[in-house]
Amino acid sequence: MNLFDVIFHWVSSFPGTVATFLIAGIPSVELSVALPVGVLAFHLPLWQAYLCAVAGSSIPVILVLTLAEPLTRWLCRHSKLAQRFFQWLFHQTREKFYAKYQRHGDLALLLFTAFPLPIPFSGAWSGSLAAWIFGIPPRRAVPLLALGLMIAGGIMVALLVSGSTLLQLFLPDPGKLPAV
C-alpha cells in the first residue's frame, strides 16, 4: 500500500469537502493532490474543490508562522543540541539562499508557493518555513502565501479542465461504441 492509498483510505469516510480540506493540509501532497481528488474521486464541483483545497492548504501557513518561532525559542532554551541545530540551519539556509531572496524579494516567496508540484519542498508548508527562516514578518508573508495558494489552485483548475477536455477529444463517446 503506497502513501496515496493510505491517505485516500483515511479520508474516504469523510464527506468530500472535509476530505479535500484534510488532504490539502498534508505536507508535500497539499493542494496539488487535494484538488484533483476532490473533483475526480469525490465528484465535488470544481469551485467547491478549489475553495476546500486552498483553505486546507492555508492551515499550515498559519500554524507554521504562529508556532515555529516560539517552539524554536523554547527548544533552544532547553537543549544545546537544538540550539546548535537551529544556528546551523539558519546560517546554512540564509548563506545559501539569501542573495536570491534579496534579488527577487517577495516575488520569490510568492512563486515558490504558486507552483503546485506534488514534491517535497514546494507549496504552503515549505513556503511558510522559508518565510520563517528568512525572517519575513507574518503580516507580509501570509498575503504572499495566500496569493501563491490561490494561483496554485488556479493552475490546478486549468490543468484539470484542459486534461478532461483533451480526454474527451481522444476518447470515443461511450454511446457510440459498438455493443459487445
**At 177, is the pLDDT very low, low, confident or very high (cuts 50, 70, 90)?**
very low
* CB atoms inside a 10 Å sphere around CB 48: 15
Short-list 119, 118, 116, 143, CA closest to 131: 143
pLDDT band, very low/low/confident/very high, at 166 (cuts 50, 70, 90): low
Average pLDDT over residues 90-110: 79
What is the residue extent of each domain of the chain?
3-159
- Residue 173's pLDDT band, with cuts at 50, 70 and 90, is low
| pLDDT on residue 180 | 46
- 9: pLDDT confidence band, cut at 50, 70 and 90? confident
Q: Which three cell numbers stand for residue 148?
A: 501563491
